[in-house]
């Protein structure tokens, strides 16, 4: 027992402050992309996922982007990745970065915020990804991040959940299980698509084995990334329930 107490003392207090000023992705990390004045054709040709559109109305779709940086390497004059981690959006269209300002996710309406703002339980369904998104959701439950302090927890049953957090491209083999999980949750309920796979298929976009989130399961929050950094996930969830501005 004394050794456990000594270890506790040595390990120290490790929960990070969040949000806090100056918080950024690591120096080599790829965060919010920025379109520069250069032409996008070369960058678009370098993207294996068709996330970039060149031409009159250029855009970079963060929902398809897996943040491999191939575009910025091919055409540094056209695309740049900043270290900004706040990438979440409320609408699918808002994930497309243009020369206009990026519109971050908005919080739920006042009614839902009153219900979920101080206690928000999520059921996570992993549906065909690589398990990296799951790992970065799990990490939020460690003492370093302490998701629970914000009133947010992952629940073991859909019956106990206010929200559904989906990861993976939703394989055909998981489609039914996802539908049943959603159906088992009581209303009102919100849906979060976490990671490029859940949003667009990600690296597996276009695979016949993948179905995607069915239209009957409307998404309220999109968290882009492959996988999203835990900072991005946490920011998105807290933005949704109105805990950060």
Partner 1 sequence: MKVEHLSGFDFGAAELDPSIFFETAASRLASGGRALAYFALPEGEAHRLVMAVGFDREGRIEVYSTQAYGPFRALTPSFPQLHLFEREIFEQAGLKPEGHPWLKPIRFNTPGAVPGVADYFTVHGSQVHEVAVGPVHAGVIEPGHFRFQCHGERVFHLEIMLGYQHRGLEKKFIGGPDGRSLHYAETLAGDTTIGHGWAYCGAVEALSGVNVPPRAQILRGIMLELERLANHTGDLGALAGDVAYLPAASFCGRLRGDFLNMTALVCGSRFGRNMLRPGGVNFDLDAALIHELKLRLENTFRDVQSAVSLLWETGSVADRFEDTGVVSKEAAEGLGLVGPVARASGVGLDTRRNFSSGPYEGFTLGVSGSGDVYSRAYVRWLEIQKSAELIAGWLDALPAGPVEAECGCLKADSAAVSLVEGWRGQICHFALTGPGGKFRHYKIVDPSFHNWQGLALALRNGEISDFPLCNKSFNLSYCGRDL
Binding site for partner 1 (CB under 8 A): 3-4, 7-8, 10-11, 14, 25-30, 46-49, 66-70, 124-139, 141-144, 154, 156-157, 168-169, 171, 173-174, 176-177, 181, 202-204, 207-210, 226-227, 229
Secondary structure of 173-238 in HEC code, one letter for each residue: HHHHHHHHHHHHCCCCCEEEEECHHHHHCHHHCCCCCECCCCCCCCCCEEECCCCCCHHHHHHHHH
Please give the Cα distance from 226 to 228 (Å, whole number): 5
Nearer Cβ to partner 1 (112/125): 125
Q: How far is the CB of 109 from partner 1 (least distance, A)?
A: 27
Whole-number minimum distance, CB 27 to partner 1, in Å? 8
- Please, what is the minimum distance in Å from the beta carbon of residue 124 to partner 1? 5
DSSP helix/strand/coil, 22: coil
The CB density around residue 91, as the number of other CB atoms within 10 Å, is 14
Judged by beta carbon, residue 110 or residue 176, the one nearer partner 1 is: 176
CB nearer to partner 1: give 30 or 89.
30
Tokens read off for 173: 């083999």
Between 189 and 229, name the residue whose CB sits nearer to partner 1: 229
Least distance in angstroms from the C-beta of 202 to partner 1: 8
Q: Which is nearer to partner 1, 112 or 192 (CB)?
A: 192
Beta carbons of 130 and 158 less than 8 angstroms apart: no
**Shortest distance (Å) from residue 106 CB to partner 1:** 26
């Amino acid at each position: 027992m004394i050794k456990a107490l000594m270890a506790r003392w040595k390990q120290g207090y490790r929960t990070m402050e969040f949000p806090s000023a100056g918080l950024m992705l690591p120096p080599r990390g790829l965060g919010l992309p920025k379109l520069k004045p250069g032409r996008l054709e070369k960058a678009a040709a370098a993207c294996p996922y068709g996330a970039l559109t060149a031409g009159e109305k250029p855009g970079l779709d963060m929902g398809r982007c897996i943040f491999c940086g191939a575009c910025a390497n091919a055409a540094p004059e056209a695309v740049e990745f900043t270290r900004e981690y706040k990438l979440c959006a409320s609408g699918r269209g808002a994930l497309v970065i243009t020369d206009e300002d990026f519109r971050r996710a908005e919080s739920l309406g006042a009614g839902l915020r009153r219900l979920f703002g101080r206690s928000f339980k999520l059921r996570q369904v992993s549906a065909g990804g690589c398990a990296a998104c799951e790992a970065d959701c799990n990490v939020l439950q460690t003492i370093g991040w302490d998701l629970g302090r914000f009133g947010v927890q992952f629940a073991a049953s859909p019956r106990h959940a206010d929200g559904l957090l989906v990861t993976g491209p939703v394989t055909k083999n998981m489609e039914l299980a996802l539908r049943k999980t959603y159906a088992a949750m009581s209303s009102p309920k919100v849906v979060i698509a976490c990671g490029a796979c859940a949003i667009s298929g990600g690296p597996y976009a276009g695979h016949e084995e993948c179905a995607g989130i069915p239209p009957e399961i409307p998404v309220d929050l999109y968290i882009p990334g492959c996988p999203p950094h835990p900072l991005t996930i946490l920011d998105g969830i807290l933005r949704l329930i109105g805990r950060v501005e």
